[in-house]
Amino acid sequence: MDLSTLPKAFSLWFSTSLPDLGQYQFGQRFTIICLYIILSKGTDIITSRILLPLATRTSFDVDEHFVRFIRRPAVLSVFLLGILHAVLLEPTFAPPWDTALPNLTKTLILAVWWIALIREITVMNEKNTGWAVRKFDKTRFYMLKNISRIILLFIGIIWALIIWEVNLTPLFASAGIVGIAIALAAKDTLANFFGGIALFTDAAYKVGDYIILGSGERGEVVELGIRSTKIKTRDDVLITIPNSIMSTTKIINESAPEVNYRIRIDVNVSYDSNLREVEKVLLQVAEENTALVTKPEPRVRVRSFADSAILLQLLVWVEEPAQRGLQTHNLLKMIHIAFQEHGIEIPFPQRTVHFDADKRAPRTLDIAPTPAPDDNP
């Protein structure tokens, strides 16, 4: 191609296309967009300078949170409405831009609000939505939060298809076949989803409970999601377990039906000890520990007579299972000190060995050395 002909070709295209482009009144459309930019800035000023200060003066936080949520999507929506107004201005663009540009602008407006809404639901927790946790417990709150995100995503996709005037009848007609294909391809994901629904329905545990699994893991439930359950152990290790496993394994809930948790402290004393005094000392130790609950009251039980000691148990209650390890540590130290002060003996296993001098000493056998084998056959 001769490069010298490019300026002439460009001049020819510009002279023939300029009249066609001029009919779309780009200057007027640009003016409309600029006006909407000014309106979007005004929307930002109204929400940040007027509505937000008014919301902060109220006694509740819902209105302030709502104003902060709508601020950015509202500003972007006003700007995109300006683009939509400019695109729909007569005369409209030639096909397919006469429908593609308006639909694209409407889709962007929908995406702005839907992304903001899903993001807001994602970051929701019991701290910034205390009103929701007071109305629902943590488990229902997190479950509804996860389900609502899926529902909003599905509605957003359907709404976008409606904007683009996509015929949904074939999609719903083929939903059965697609559903079978998805069920086969994502059977583990579906198993986890329905496992989460089953756990939510049965209410075997909730967020904040301390549970013990059949495999031995113990910890606090920090999140009950659609796909998995997260447990934080006492070593601050986060364990994520699929709900399909949680719905079929054995679960011991230490926080149900009562939140108070009982601690059993095993104590051994010698047979020479005064059991009434031992019981009195143990109850005094439990009374001095202010971290224990007063109802139910501490109690002492004699369990059995062992080989070298009398076995007792001090039964006390703490406010929640998380305090089990710390209070067991404190009680054992206090019991050891109290027993030393009152002269109560903590025995240890002993054995008595008797020697009979009249028995004959074991005989020493003289074993002759075995001759070496003859190397010569």
pLDDT in tens, 297-312: 999 999 999 888 999 9
* pLDDT reported for residue 184: 56
Exposure b/e, 188-211, CB count within 10 A at least 16 = b: eeebbbebbeebbeeebbbbbbbb
Are 65 and 165 contained in the same domain?
Answer: yes
**Residue 237 belongs to what domain range?**
187-253
Q: What is the mean pLDDT of residues 147-153?
A: 84
At 107, is the pLDDT very low, low, confident or very high (cuts 50, 70, 90)?
Answer: very high
Would residue 367 count as lying in a domain?
no
Helix, strand, or coil here: 254? coil
Residue 174, pLDDT > 80, answer: no
Would residue 191 count as lying in a domain?
yes
- Provide the phi-psi class of 203: left if phi over 0, else alpha when psi is between -120 and 50, else beta: left
Q: What is the mean pLDDT of residues 43-69?
A: 87
CA geometry: angle at 284 spanning 280 and 290, to 5°? 155
* pLDDT reported for residue 55: 86
At 120, is the pLDDT very low, low, confident or very high (cuts 50, 70, 90)?
Answer: confident
Would residue 324 count as lying in a domain?
yes
**Residue 208's CATH number:** 2.30.30.60
Higher model confidence: residue 53 or residue 191? 53
Are 265 and 249 contained in the same domain?
Answer: no
Q: What is the mean pLDDT of residues 31-54?
A: 92
Q: What is the rounded CA–CA span in Å between residue 310 and residue 172?
A: 74
Are 78 and 173 contained in the same domain?
Answer: yes
Higher model confidence: residue 349 or residue 223? 223
Q: Output the average pLDDT for the chain.
A: 80
Asked if 233 and 217 touch (Cβ cutoff 8 Å), the reply is yes
Q: What is the mean pLDDT of residues 147-154?
A: 84
Residue 261, pLDDT > 50, answer: yes
Pick from 79, 53, 77, 81: nearest CA to 67: 53
Would residue 226 count as lying in a domain?
yes
Listed range (1-10, 151-160, 288-297) with the worst mean pLDDT:
1-10
* pLDDT reported for residue 106: 94
Q: What is the mean pLDDT of residues 4-33?
A: 60
Are 171 and 32 contained in the same domain?
Answer: yes
pTM for this entry: 0.53
Q: How many domains are there within the chain?
A: 3
* pLDDT reported for residue 331: 95
Are 265 and 246 contained in the same domain?
Answer: no
Whether the bond into 362 is cis, omega within 30 of 0: no
